[in-house]
Amino acid sequence: MAVRPITVIGHKALHQPTRKVREVNDEVRTLVADMFETMEAAEGVGLAANQVGVRLRIFVYDCTHDPEAGPDARGVVINPVLEKEHVSPLSADPEEDGEGCLSVPGEAFPTARSDWARVTGTDLEGHEVVVEGTGLLGRCLQHETDHLDGHLYVERLSPEDKRRARDAVRDRGWEARRVTKWDPATQKAEEV
């Protein structure tokens, strides 16, 4: 297992839909193990494969620290299909709906999400997986599936918060310095 660098907003892998996993092989198993290790090193609750530069439809999650989610709120979903209720981006509560992302490190903005979400997919053994949740787990399922569809949470913000997010990203200087990744093991940015 290894900690992999995490792609930063602007990296092309984050802005393209991922490809369906056709076969779980040793390469996919290693990827998933590395994703868990990377997520833990970065202190995240979810990580999509394209966040480590691999355009496959896989995400890992760990919301076990949230009492509402419960002790079984950790796992992997391959080829997830998301079900959720529609929500307006203008309905985000600044006090309750803060959301961050390992690909936009150090930032968080109020993000409207459905109160409930469910994903169906498969695990590493090819068995059907159904993960359903509210609160942090529901938010995580929506966030990670968005990644796999080529979308970042900052695209779901209200117009005012989108401006704040663009300003924050600009102020961090990632584009100017040509930062495409950061290493959670060392906390250092990788520049092109």
Beta strands in 42-127 (DSSP E): 46-48, 58-62, 74-84, 98-100, 108-110, 116-122
- Cβ(130)–Cβ(120) under 8 Å? yes
Beta strands in 6-115 (DSSP E): 6-7, 46-48, 58-62, 74-84, 98-100, 108-110
Which residue blocks in 86-134 are alpha helix, DSSP H? none
Which residues are CB-contacts of 78 (< 8 A; sequence separation ≥ 6)?
Answer: 21, 24, 28, 57, 58, 121, 122, 123, 124, 129
Residue 143 among known ligand-binding residues: yes
For the annotated catalytic residues, the residue numbers are: 144
Residue 11 among known ligand-binding residues: no
* Strands of the 128-134 sheet, one edge to the other: 46-48, 58-62, 74-84, 116-122, 128-134
Binding residues for Fe cation: 101, 143, 147
Q: Binding site: residue ranges?
A: 101, 143, 147
